[in-house]
Structure 1
């Protein structure tokens, strides 16, 4: 009976994930809680205030920080902000009093792992610490999965290359072995060997003249008996003495090189060329035997391999990027659900409403991430239909206004009566424009001190094209961000962004034969201008225009 397979043991928890920084201004709490944590297997560092805690964090880099929310000087909220700005993956748990519930909710919005209330119960603290360790383990496993994916890509690529090489070698060996078996029979077999080789075979004299060629050579390259050896090499005609036969005559050595050959019909193809010197009794090179193999198929396979490698690499990046984005959304969803649960427990409907609003926004963000991933993974052909610009704008604003209104941002729209009609694939262009609106809302939320904010939408056009503009008065962008804005997986929002939205928006505009321009300065907002032809035409590859 076969033995049952061994269970896969989970990777051991690194010692670094058990290093913890305890920050509290009360010495008694630091001493008692420090002993409790040490007994639980943690390496405990202690600090008496927020400034000391930040200094120790920068020096020791503990994986978990447990801090009192109220400390003199830099309090727990400020310490949380500073740590998350420098090390977003550090897990921070805050200690609160019964009257600090609003600060506790604020800490969750700032991506704190959890909070525990005084007096601290061992069971509650252990649950919070267990959650922090689980999040650390999840990120560690995600990094390991990403590295494994990269190694798999490299391994598979090397295996494909080796398989192609071995297949080509096997084919050549089989052909030559069969031919040499015939050659061993009689002299006439040598003629069959020369004529039946599955490559271009020719014999050249020392004056670089073709003296013989097999049928495949003559059928593809033409009747070249008596003509110059270099004539089939278009890239060697300006310097004929650098052709393979001439170099073999000069050096007296066999040579192998990749060349471009021109066929009798003018078509060009890549070839692997091998030349062998044939010497007379005096040891001088008398003739040169040249073998040339068409490697067009090998070149095509190389290109397919390169494309596959790029797609697999992009897939790995997408997995990493989307994982970080979804992780941030789940943190926000946790905060919303906590608000709703605590509101129900306390009989406070306004808190329930706030929690449901946060949860609803997080679900909408998940939906957008999934749609972006689907758009990236599978591109469908355009299905354009004619509609008025006003109809398109109405559908767009009906969705965009909801998010703007929810965040207290005014949305002002101006659709010119002369905008007219255009042919557009609404299913592709509408999500693209919504990505621009999402970007505008996020830019406004990143500059709360400059509120209240306004987003302006304009639609106009002339006889040839339609122009759609989305303008915000948010945080703006510098040149470095603006130049990379439409790159795949680039995001200026840190963990809150996947780097897919604006890339897909630009691709959608380009597929309609249009273009997208960006004007932005730090602190002065941004304007995205989309130009679309009245009739779509497939296009891609143009870089975004910036100003």
Structure 2
């Protein structure tokens, strides 16, 4: 098809002479006597080259050029013009004609124009081929990279899980040993200690499994109209016995005038529970017994309608290295006490709302976690943008 050319001219003599010349040059020549006929042939055969006179009765060459380019921008069109038609020739170039030759047609000038048109077709085909090859290469390399990262993530997850399970298994074996000694000696104190060790490690297994299920579970926030202070009150009431047992003051600092907003009550409740639990544990880890151990849960609303939840503690705090990785999988500042999934689950829920979570902390100076939930409309837009990215 690249050697096929459509010749359009209303003068039969010119068509015959040019047809012979083009055929001798190796072209398969299609001919048309006017623009309408040429357009019909073009739509049927789709030749890559068109050589057309500019001035023709009915549809002239410029109009034919315009219609061909609308349907097939890659087709190269060379215009034939008289000496007095230079204005039309220049206009044809504005419609992306490949070139023009003047009457009487010089064979060398025509061959140069055709060669340039063929070169443009060749360059375009090569560019398309290179682009397609590059796209295939990028797609394949991206697939390989994603697969490598997936396998690396699986390997890291398996390694950390194996380590966590090994620690729990060690705790279970220790509890079993103490329990067996208690049975051998008929010692109730040993029996009680061993049993408590076993129960504690069984709880760790249950928490680990539950955290993994919560993180893996795909869920869409169940948006309903709620009082934004409700999850704060419920979480503080739920966690107060634990705080008192640990010697930690648990306080609320809420704005009672907050208007109702749409959010997922269960999700926000889970987030605040995780943060308050971590805050209490951080206070327990404080070495100085004289320091006041306090956790404060705050709620407020910004001018843009966003609701802010803030959990502040006077606990052990974190250094910069720990703070930068606390939202990563299986990274915990609690050592063997935590699964490392709580903050990941919290961030996942917050981002499902289109919100953000940040942490400010210094070693020995406590920590402040801040959740920002945008208004419902902005939240949905942010969530969609993140999914597209």
Report the TM-score, using the length of structure 2 for normalisation: 0.57
By how many angstroms is 1:225 displaced? 0.5
In 2, Cα distance between the equivalents of 1:224 and 1:322? 61
Match among 75, 79, 82 for residue 224 of structure 1: 75
Q: Considering only CA atoms, is the larger Rg found in Structure 1 or Structure 2?
A: 2
**Closer/same/farther in 2, CA of residues 349 and 370 from structure 1, 3 Å limit:** same
Residue matched to 1:410: 248
Deviations 1:23-78 (A, max 9, x none): xxxxxxxxxxxxxxxxxxxxxxxxxxxxxxxxxxxxxxxxxxxxxxxxxxxxxxxx
Report if aligned partners of 1:444, 1:474 keep a CA contact under 8 Å in 2.
yes
Secondary structure of 2:151 counterpart: helix
Residue matched to 1:503: 344
Report if aligned partners of 1:376, 1:504 keep a CA contact under 8 Å in 2.
yes
1:431 paired with 2:288, answer: no
1:531 paired with 2:382, answer: no
By how many angstroms is 1:310 displaced? 2.8
Report if aligned partners of 1:470, 1:528 keep a CA contact under 8 Å in 2.
yes
Match among 298, 304, 309 for residue 468 of structure 1: 309
By how many angstroms is 1:333 displaced? 3.4
In 1, Cα distance between the equivalents of 2:227 and 2:343? 25
1:310 paired with 2:161, answer: no
By how many angstroms is 1:325 displaced? 1.9
After TM superposition, the structure 1 = structure 2 runs for residues 170-185 of structure 1, keeping only pairs within 5 Å, are none
In 1, Cα distance between the equivalents of 2:284 and 2:72? 68
Deviations 1:264-303 (A, max 9, x none): xxxxxxx433xxxxxxxxxxxxxxxxxx758767755654
Report if aligned partners of 2:232, 2:272 keep a CA contact under 8 Å in 1.
no
Residue matched to 2:129: 272
The answer to which structure, 1 or 2, has the higher relative contact order (CA under 8 A, 6+ apart) is 2
**Closer/same/farther in 2, CA of residues 427 and 495 from structure 1, 3 Å limit:** same
Deviations 1:349-382 (A, max 9, x none): 5665554444444333323322332234342222
Residue matched to 2:41: none
In 2, Cα distance between the equivalents of 1:475 and 1:533? 31
Report if aligned partners of 1:474, 1:524 keep a CA contact under 8 Å in 2.
yes
Secondary structure of 1:324 counterpart: helix
Deviations 1:521-545 (A, max 9, x none): 1111112122223538244699xxx
Deviations 1:444-472 (A, max 9, x none): 34434446763413232237233322222
Secondary structure of 1:418 counterpart: coil
After TM superposition, the structure 1 = structure 2 runs for residues 292-331 of structure 1, keeping only pairs within 5 Å, are 293=132, 300=139, 303-331=142-170
Secondary structure of 2:220 counterpart: coil
Report if aligned partners of 2:236, 2:250 keep a CA contact under 8 Å in 1.
no
Deviations 1:153-175 (A, max 9, x none): xxxxxxxxxxxxxxxxxxxxxxx
In 2, Cα distance between the equivalents of 1:219 and 1:297? 29
**Closer/same/farther in 2, CA of residues 508 and 517 from structure 1, 3 Å limit:** same
Match among 357, 370, 378 for residue 209 of structure 2: 370
Report if aligned partners of 1:409, 1:452 keep a CA contact under 8 Å in 2.
no
Deviations 1:368-408 (A, max 9, x none): 322332234342222223333443234423554455455x2
Report if aligned partners of 1:446, 1:475 keep a CA contact under 8 Å in 2.
yes
Match among 355, 359, 368 for residue 514 of structure 1: 355
Report if aligned partners of 1:465, 1:531 keep a CA contact under 8 Å in 2.
yes
Report if aligned partners of 1:453, 1:474 keep a CA contact under 8 Å in 2.
no
Please tell me the root mean square deviation across aligned C-alpha atoms, in Å. Answer: 4.6
Residue matched to 1:153: none
Most deviating of 295-304 and 327-336? 295-304
- Could you list the runs of 5+ residues in structure 1 that have no partner in the other structure? 1-186, 190-200, 204-217, 232-244, 260-270, 274-291, 543-547
Deviations 1:222-279 (A, max 9, x none): 2430489xx9xxxxxxxxxxxxx99xx8xxxx9x98x5xxxxxxxxxxx433xxxxxx
Report if aligned partners of 1:419, 1:459 keep a CA contact under 8 Å in 2.
no
**Closer/same/farther in 2, CA of residues 202 and 327 from structure 1, 3 Å limit:** farther
Secondary structure of 2:252 counterpart: strand
Match among 321, 325, 328 for residue 480 of structure 1: 321
Residue matched to 2:298: 459
Secondary structure of 1:272 counterpart: helix
**Closer/same/farther in 2, CA of residues 403 and 338 from structure 1, 3 Å limit:** farther
**Closer/same/farther in 2, CA of residues 341 and 309 from structure 1, 3 Å limit:** same
**Closer/same/farther in 2, CA of residues 293 and 512 from structure 1, 3 Å limit:** closer
Secondary structure of 1:379 counterpart: coil
More helix by share: 2
Report if aligned partners of 2:232, 2:252 keep a CA contact under 8 Å in 1.
no
In 2, Cα distance between the equivalents of 1:223 and 1:434? 63
Secondary structure of 1:362 counterpart: helix
Report if aligned partners of 2:226, 2:263 keep a CA contact under 8 Å in 1.
yes
Most deviating of 533-542 and 387-396? 533-542
- Could you list the runs of 5+ residues in structure 2 that have no partner in the other structure? 1-25, 29-46, 50-68, 79-92, 97-114
Report if aligned partners of 1:372, 1:500 keep a CA contact under 8 Å in 2.
yes
In 1, Cα distance between the equivalents of 2:292 and 2:192? 24
